Structure 1
């Protein structure tokens, strides 16, 4: 396991996303989104599926479908908790594939709190 957290290199993995990856509930939708980014970096498909809303979770999730993919950074733009069990997180994740230039993935994600746990519902890619 890494010593620094993929979602924030200034924080230790053990005191950040590892806690959620081991089953602790995320306090906020932003914390869940950060832990999901870290799970993509670390290849934790089971965690990703477990934190996906049951209405939208894919039947299969193959994290090996893009050979040479390397996640290189996360920037959370904004987070809104609507107070009704729904929240939104806007972020930009950067990745590279092989020697190609870096790609920016800009998403506005929706989250829902179910039985005390935040779950990823879906996302839109603005503009």
Structure 2
């Protein structure tokens, strides 16, 4: 999926894409785990599999050296899902570890998760997530 830099960002921040997630998708490192979480949601919505892969910690259960199949899996999810909203309910920021609790809203329902992020040499990475509840509308 393509998006105009002047369109509203797919992370539902209310900001234009060029002022929100686009700089991260182009290589700027998010300064907080919350910004990384938003940019990952947006990357899923836009089908930016390489970004998802590059921002996933090696400890994550989805992480694999089989990059081709991992990329196909991400793209399949992105293309078969309509991303309708993102609500962040809690952000706990520490120096090298952070937690973001959020609800991602899709056409088939929603997913609530408390995500753990680790800062590795100045780069935030998604390490794991714990589902807090699921809503199948």
Unmatched segments (≥5 aa) in structure 1: 97-101
Structure-2 residue corresponding to 1:64? 76
Runs of 4+ residues over 2 Å off in structure 1: 65-68
Normalised by the length of structure 1, the TM-score is: 0.88
Structure 1 pair 9–27 and aligned structure 2 pair: CA distance change class (3 A): closer
Following TM superposition, by how much is the alpha carbon of 1:104 offset from its aligned partner in structure 2, in angstroms? Answer: 1.1
Structure-1 residue corresponding to 2:44? 40
Partners of 1:68 and 1:126 lie apart in 2 by: 23
> Is residue 112 of structure 1 aligned with residue 112 of structure 2?
no
Instruction: Provide Cα deviations, 1:75-94, integer angstroms capped at 9, x if missing partner.
Output: 001100123x0000000000
Normalised by the length of structure 2, the TM-score is: 0.82
Partners of 2:77 and 2:54 lie apart in 1 by: 20
Following TM superposition, by how much is the alpha carbon of 1:115 offset from its aligned partner in structure 2, in angstroms? Answer: 1.1
Counterpart contact for 2:47–2:78, Cα < 8 Å: no
Partners of 1:66 and 1:16 lie apart in 2 by: 20
CA RMSD across the alignment: 1.6
Say which structure is richer in helix.
Answer: 2
Counterpart contact for 2:105–2:111, Cα < 8 Å: yes
Partners of 1:7 and 1:67 lie apart in 2 by: 16
Following TM superposition, by how much is the alpha carbon of 1:69 offset from its aligned partner in structure 2, in angstroms? Answer: 1.6
Partners of 1:16 and 1:39 lie apart in 2 by: 12
Say which structure is richer in strand.
Answer: 1
Unmatched segments (≥5 aa) in structure 2: 65-69
